[in-house]
């Protein structure tokens, strides 16, 4: 069995709600956060499979087409690979925010489906997100949870960035 890190996309890997970009609705609006690609590389180097689990209700609401979402993800994967990291797979919920589906975070279906398909030991894995729905999804799935950005009391740990979280996970791995 393998261990994994499940990453939210917007606000963890790429900019969102910044001066430069409000929402990522086409590839030209994708800007990786400082250190995000390096953070993914560190996680991969420490033996973690890295997955992205992201709510993309803009598709269900008609703000973007699913083909454009796939182009955005292709660009993100390419940029991470340039830094030596690897995203194993991207799971996304394209339903509208009020569709009531189980795949949309805070539901844990994206995480548990990926874990089952890839032989992941969920208890040895992490969910890293920037919002409470990410943390709730991770807890429901059974992962350890890390919030990036502002502090949150329901996450197991809190760091200012994905890079800082990845360095900490790497240190934990070395101390075992």
Question: Over the chain (176 residues), what is each successive 10-residue block's mean pLDDT?
Answer: 95 92 92 97 97 93 92 98 97 88 94 98 97 96 94 87 97 77
Instruction: Give the global pTM.
Output: 0.95
Q: Is 130 a catalytic residue?
A: no
Spatial CA neighbour of 166 closest among 105, 84, 61, 64: 84
Residue 142 CB-half CA count within 13 A: 11
User: Left, alpha or beta for 131 (phi > 0: left; psi -120 to 50: alpha)?
Assistant: beta
pLDDT of residue 18: 86
To the query of whether residue 10 is one of the catalytic residues in this protein, the response is: yes
Catalytic residue among 10, 130, 134, 152: 10
């Amino acid at each position: 069995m393998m261990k994994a890190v499940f990453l939210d996309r917007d606000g963890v890997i790429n900019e969102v709600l910044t001066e430069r970009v409000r929402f990522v609705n086409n590839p030209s609006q994708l800007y990786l956060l400082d250190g995000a690609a390096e953070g993914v590389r560190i996680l991969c180097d420490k033996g973690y499979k890295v997955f992205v689990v992201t709510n993309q209700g803009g598709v269900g609401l008609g703000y973007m087409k699913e083909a454009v979402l796939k182009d955005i993800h292709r660009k993100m994967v390419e940029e991470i690979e340039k830094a030596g990291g690897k995203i194993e797979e991207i799971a996304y919920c394209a339903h509208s925010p009020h569709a009531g589906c189980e795949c949309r975070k805070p539901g844990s279906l994206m995480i548990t489906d990926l874990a089952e398909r890839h032989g992941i030991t969920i208890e040895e894995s992490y969910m890293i997100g920037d919002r409470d729905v990410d943390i709730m999804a991770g807890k429901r799935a059974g992962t350890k949870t890390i919030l990036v950005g502002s502090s949150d009391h329901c996450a197991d740990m809190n760091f200012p960035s994905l890079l800082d979280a990845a360095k900490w996970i790497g240190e934990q791995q070395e101390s075992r």
